[in-house]
Amino acid sequence: MKFKKDISKVHLLFTAIGGIIGSGWLLGPLYTAQAAGPAAILAWLLGGLLMIVVALTFAELATMFPVAGGMVRFAQFSHGTFASFNMAWISWLAAVMVAPIETMAAIQYSSNYFPWLIHTVHTTKMLTPLGFSIAAMLMLFMCWLNVFGAKVFAKSNSVIVSWKLTIPVIAAIILLSHKFSPGNFYHFGGFAPLGFKGILTALPTAGVIFSFIGYSPAIQLAAEAKNPQKAIPFAILGAISLAIVLYVVIEIAFIGAISPSALNHGWKNLIYPGDSGPIAGIIAALGIGWFLKVIYFDALISPVGTAYIYTASTSRVNFAMSQNGYMPTLMQKLNRRGVPVLAIIVNYIVGLIFFLPFPGWQSMVSFIVSAFVLAYAIGPLSCAALRKTMPDVERPFKLPAYTMMCLAAFFICNLIIYWTGWNVVWKMLVTVLIGYLWLAYQAHKNKDMDIDLKHGLWIIPYLIGLGVISYLGSFGGGDKIIPFGWDFLVVGILSVLIYYYALYSAKEGELAKSA
């Protein structure tokens, strides 16, 4: 049984928007302001523009090969099994984490009304046993909805996304019209009290990049899109562009609405009653009771809506990994509505586990960003490699100045990973090593599996290089041996070396021809 092409151009756009507009608008404005002060506005703008550069490489790949779980398959086409597995493994784990992280956001906001859902341990907000049970039931409900197929998913998601777009816009209008303190933008340390480094730190740690990487479901669901050659670029670029405008406006409204007294100890120490739900906290302080109830309802709908989208798209990652031989063939089994049900069940069980080592929303965000962006780094490399090995294949969307754009996108991905800091990067590297044990097991089971080490060996110096630079760098627990500013150059050198090594190692695209 094949996937059914039930997702229209507009529905695919709404899928990408729904993946981007989730818990980020509810919690991101506070965490971004704490990291960068009023310059948080620039963090949202910069984050969106950087992700557009990366997304353009995927627009070319996904229109060439509109397959299920495309982010997993592209590396297989360009560099074979070993390179593909690295990206597939980390991409799958990152995608599986989205449902729990969005559910966590919904529960964290709800704890303002139901404090027994969350308790604080060493300043980290964690689920209580009852909160965990409710989170598990919410995720199970999303799995059940996804069993009904792409057509039901597309229609129901469009309704959810319409709501998700409307409420942030109304919230921004209310904040801008009821209370706006211009002094917040230049008092208390100036516009950028924590400097350019604060802006960069906000990108991976405060929810900025986490929000913008949400366009990936449009790639994973490409096999179910009508006319994917036009729908995919429209969905990806349209969603990110709209989100940039929305998030910048929300951040401006949020900063202007903060009571100046809350900033007496600086932006880094910005805390106020209701910080589990910062937008709701400000709305409550303004005394707008009717909209406060709407915000709390949206705090359930927005994150859960994004989790709903990722529950669908992540199961297609399992499907693609199974096609590559990394998961059992049962993951390719579809029900009569064209849904990989077993994959959804497996992802649900794995997702529950992630509530344990990464208990709070912000603690989950940094890891998921580094993991997702590592998986995204294959896009620029595959795009450039396939231009070399398959120059005559039709490209409905052709990336302009592809050498410069692909190298720039790869550099951007490496910078974002570096900015998450050593405390996060080492966990990501350990996760990759654990994945190698699974690959060894699969290779032992399947004696015919070709590891393609020759074509994917560049992965090893790449990961080692990222680890060493993060350890020696000045972000998130690094030893600060490489000064801020010089680290850009060091990451740039690594990016250029690995880019050309990977390009040289590319394999002929015979697998892609049969995709």
User: DSSP string of 338-372?
Assistant: S--HHHHHHHHHHHHHTTTTS-SHHHHHHHHHHHH
- pLDDT digit string, tens, across residues 423-461: 888 988 998 899 888 888 888 777 777 777 888 899 999
Q: What is the pLDDT of residue 512?
A: 44
CB 218 within 8 A of CB 16: yes
- E strand or H helix that includes residue 500: helix 486-505
pTM of the model: 0.81
Angle, vertex CA 418, rays to CA 317 and CA 189, nearest 5? 120
The ranges assigned to domains in the chain are: 9-513
Residues in CB range of 227: below 8 A, 6 or more apart: 9
Give the rounded percent of residues in the chain with a pLDDT score beyond 90.
Answer: 17
Helix, strand or coil, per DSSP, at residue 380: helix
Distance CA 71, CA 92 (A): 10
The residue among 318, 281, 289, 348 whose CA lies nearest residue 145 is 348
Distance CA 78, CA 460 (A): 17
In Å, what is the CA distance from 166 to each residue of 162, 218, 301, 464, 514?
A: 6, 21, 12, 45, 43
Residue 57 structure tokens: 């490489």
Distance CA 14, CA 212 (A): 14
- pLDDT digit string, tens, across residues 470-505: 999 988 888 989 998 899 999 999 999 999 999 998
CB 71 within 8 A of CB 317: yes
Distance CA 192, CA 202 (A): 12
Residue 469 structure tokens: 């630079």
Angle, vertex CA 206, rays to CA 202 and CA 208, nearest 5? 80
CB 349 within 8 A of CB 337: no
Q: Which CATH number does 9-513 carry?
A: 1.20.1740.10
Distance CA 168, CA 250 (A): 7
Tell me what the mean pLDDT of segment 343-350 comes to.
88
Specify the DSSP class assigned to residue 126: E
Distance CA 491, CA 234 (A): 32
Q: What is the pLDDT of residue 390?
A: 87
The residue among 263, 298, 303 whose CA lies nearest residue 174 is 298
Beta-bridged to residue 127, according to DSSP, are 118
Whether 513 shows a pLDDT value over 60: the answer reads no
Whether 514 shows a pLDDT value over 50: the answer reads no
Whether 391 shows a pLDDT value over 80: the answer reads yes
If pLDDT is split at 50, 70 and 90, which confidence band does 511 have?
very low
Strands 124-127 and 118-121 turn out to be antiparallel
CB 136 within 8 A of CB 109: no
CB 417 within 8 A of CB 447: no
DSSP state string for 446-474: -TT----HHHHTTHHHHHHHHHHHHHHSS
